[in-house]
């Protein structure tokens, strides 16, 4: 089978791809990942011993990339194509169709096609309706959503319910076991006193991730707990706007934007509270990472987040775009330390039981098997 991912940067979706490919490799699946040359995904997949083909894919209308993908599918006898990004959908579907014109694997026509959908945006949000609908209906055999919330959006957009399944994202729990305590090191690096309350966020710096609400909430929290510090981890198009907001509020020494980091497990272990204020969210794998680290979480009731967190049991949930509610929840956990610790323990147990990468791999493998079985049955019936 062939996986296609067109991202050059590293976000939660790319981590999920590596988790999945590792799990499939352990189960003996013959596969290959096609991704951007010298991308972080390519480097990390290669470091994990996974088969990688690096191919420049310049947007979703890159005809040379379509041709290269089609040739690869024919040469490898690819029976299934799993597309992991929005641009990969157009490229992968076109390449599968072109490969099928030459007979496909074993003369069975084009390879089966499957898409992972990780965002809860409407498919009509940013494009002409006809193109958006065609992209997810013509040539796509199955769509796997990472949350029930995304599935509901796609069905509301007009996709047939029987074509849309759900397999929750998961985390590699081993990454968050026996993590070295680096809080003293971070205190020196970022210039805050050791022992102060530390509230963190890890996410791409994008408008829908809600970091502006977090900065506004931080201003409210700091009025009552002035010694607290906030760390915002990640890069993105909103960085300059966030820096300006922090400066306008005079919080430069207490709200720190620390950029992209490769030491996320250690950072999470150093946080007293993890805060995730998204307005739109497919599932939120950063939340899963925080839960796996045993951190108490304050998050919004957006997208698939309530599928991970039961309010008051695994964390606290507040309405999106409500800095006052966000601040109140953070203050509650800063004041009620035993309650916060109980949330952290329950969150860790929740991930162990329901959101491990092993469960994600098994669920995805079942989707593959069922799709290929349906395709084989249809081929026999038409023979």
Do 364 and 349 share a structural domain? Answer: no
Residues 233 and 361 in one domain: no
Task: Count the Cβ atoms, other than its own, within 10 Å of residue 139.
Answer: 18
**pTM across the whole model:** 0.87
Buried b (16+ CB within 10 A) or exposed e, 201-236: bbbbbbebbbbbbbbbbbbebbeeeeebbbbbbbeb
Same domain, 63 and 86: yes
Average pLDDT over residues 241-265: 97
Per-residue 3-state assignment (H helix, E strand, C coil) for 115-147 = EEECCCCCCCCCCCHHHHHHHHHCCCCEEEECC
User: Which pLDDT belongs to residue 136?
Assistant: 78
Read out DSSP for 192-208?
A: --TTS-EEEEES---GG
Residue-wise pLDDT for 331-361, tens only, equals 999 999 999 999 999 999 999 999 999 999 9
Does residue 205 contact residue 238 with C-beta atoms inside 8 Å?
Answer: yes
Checking if the pLDDT of 130 tops 70, the result is no
- Whether the CB-CB separation of 215 and 249 falls below 8 Å is answered with yes
Strand partners, 143: 115, 164
What pLDDT band is residue 382 in, cutting at 50, 70 and 90?
A: low
Residue 254 pLDDT greater than 90, yes or no = yes
Verify that 280 and 291 share a domain, yes or no.
yes
- Identify the domain containing residue 330 by its residue range: 174-354
Which of 163, 117, 111 has the alpha carbon at shortest distance from 142?
A: 163
**Res. 28: pLDDT tops 80:** yes
Structural domains in the chain (count): 2
Residues 303 and 375 in one domain: no
Percentage of the chain beyond pLDDT 90 is 86
CATH number, residue 158: 3.40.50.2000
Average pLDDT, the chain: 93
pLDDT at 129 over 80: no
Report residue 379's pLDDT band, with 50, 70 and 90 as the boundaries. Answer: confident
Question: Is a pLDDT exceeding 90 seen at residue 124?
Answer: no
Tell me: do 193 and 132 sit in the same domain: no
Q: How many CB atoms lie within 10 A of CB 321?
A: 15
Confidence of residue 133 (pLDDT cuts 50, 70, 90): low
* Separation between Cα atoms, residue 194 and residue 184, nearest integer Å: 6
* Mean pLDDT, rounded, for 74-94: 94
Tell me: do 65 and 184 sit in the same domain. Answer: no
Mean pLDDT value of segment 13-39: 96
Sign of the CA dihedral 206, 301, 118, 13?
positive
Dihedrals φ, ψ of 165, to 5°? -115, 180
Q: Are residues 226 and 105 in the same domain?
A: no
Mean pLDDT, residues 275-304: 95
Do 180 and 159 belong together in one domain?
no
For the stretch 314-335, pLDDT in tens is: 999 999 999 999 999 999 999 9
Is there a single domain that holds both residue 29 and residue 158? yes
Q: Which residue has the higher pLDDT, 365 or 107?
A: 365
pLDDT value at residue 106: 46
My answer on whether 103 and 251 are in the same domain is: no
Cβ-contact 334, 197 below 8 angstroms: yes
Domain co-membership, 349 together with 214: yes
- Whether the per-residue pLDDT at 103 is higher than 90: the answer is no
Share of the chain above pLDDT 70, in %: 95
Q: Residue 310: pLDDT above 90?
A: yes
**Is 279 in contact with 321 (CB distance < 8 Å)?**
yes
């Amino acid at each position: 089978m062939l996986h296609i991912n067109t991202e050059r940067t590293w976000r939660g979706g790319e981590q999920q791809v590596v988790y999945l490919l590792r799990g499939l490799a352990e189960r003996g699946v013959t596969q290959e990942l096609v991704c951007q040359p010298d991308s972080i995904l390519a480097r990390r997949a290669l470091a994990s011993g996974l088969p990688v083909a690096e191919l420049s894919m310049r947007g979703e209308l890159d005809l040379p990339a379509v041709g290269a993908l089609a040739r690869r599918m024919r040469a490898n006898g690819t029976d299934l194509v799993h597309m992991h990004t929005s641009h990969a959908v157009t490229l992968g579907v076109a390449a599968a169709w072109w490969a099928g014109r030459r007979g496909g694997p074993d003369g069975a026509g084009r390879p089966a096609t499957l898409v992972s959908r990780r965002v809860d945006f409407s498919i009509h949000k940013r494009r002409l309706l006809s193109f958006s609908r065609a992209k997810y209906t013509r040539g796509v055999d199955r769509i796997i959503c990472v949350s029930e919330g995304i599935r509901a959006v796609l069905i509301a957009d007009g996709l047939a319910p029987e074509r849309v399944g759900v397999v929750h994202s998961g985390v590699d729990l081993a990454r968050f076991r026996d993590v070295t305590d680096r809080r003293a090191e971070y205190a020196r690096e970022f210039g805050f006193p050791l022992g102060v309350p530390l509230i963190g966020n890890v996410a791409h710096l994008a408008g829908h991730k809600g970091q502006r609400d977090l900065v506004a909430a931080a201003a409210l929290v700091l009025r009552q707990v002035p010694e607290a510090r906030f760390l915002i981890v990640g890069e993105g198009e909103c960085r300059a706007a966030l820096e300006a907001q922090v400066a306008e509020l005079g919080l430069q020494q207490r709200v720190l934007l620390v950029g992209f980091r490769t030491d996320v497990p250690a950072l999470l272990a150093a946080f007293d509270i993890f805060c995730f204020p998204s307005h739109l969210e497919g599932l939120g794998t950063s939340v899963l990472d925080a839960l796996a680290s045993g951190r108490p979480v304050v998050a919004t009731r957006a997208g698939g987040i309530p599928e991970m967190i039961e309010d008051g049991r695994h964390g606290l949930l507040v309405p999106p775009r409500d800095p006052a509610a966000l601040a109140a929840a953070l203050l509650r956990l800063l004041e009620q330390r035993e309650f916060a610790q109980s949330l952290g323990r329950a969150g860790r147990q929740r991930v162990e039981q329901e959101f491990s990468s092993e469960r994600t791999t098994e669920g995805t493998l079942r989707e593959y098997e069922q799709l290929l079985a349906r395709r084989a049955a249809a081929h026999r019936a038409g023979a």
